[in-house]
Amino acid sequence: MITKLQNPIIAMGVSLVLSVVLGVALCWRAAGPLLTLAAAARPKVVSDKKEKGWDFWTVEMDNLSTDLNEERALLHKRSEQLDQRAARLEEEQKELGKLRTDIEGLRQQIADQVIEINADEAKNLRTISQTYTNLSPRAAVAIFRELDDITAVKILSLMKPDVVGPIFEEMSRTTGPDGPLARRVAVLSEKLRLMKAGKPPSPS
Q: pLDDT band at 60, cuts 50/70/90? A: confident
Whether residues 124 and 171 fall in one domain: yes
10 and 4 Cβ atoms separated by less than 8 Å = yes
Instruction: Judge whether residue 69 has pLDDT over 60.
Output: yes
Q: Is 139 domain-assigned?
A: yes
pLDDT at 103: 72
pLDDT at 49: 46
Give me the number of domains the chain comprises: 2
What average pLDDT does the segment 10-30 reach? 68
- Supply angle C-alpha 16, 21, 24, rounded to 5: 125
Whether residues 126 and 162 fall in one domain: yes
Instruction: Judge whether residue 131 has pLDDT over 60.
Output: yes
- DSSP annotation of 54 reads S
Instruction: Judge whether residue 179 has pLDDT over 90.
Output: no
Q: Is 6 domain-assigned?
A: no
Enclosing domain of residue 147: 119-193
Q: Is 126 domain-assigned?
A: yes
Q: Is 28 domain-assigned?
A: no
Instruction: Judge whether residue 117 has pLDDT over 80.
Output: no
As a whole-number percent, the residues of the chain with pLDDT over 70 amount to 62
Whether residues 97 and 124 fall in one domain: no
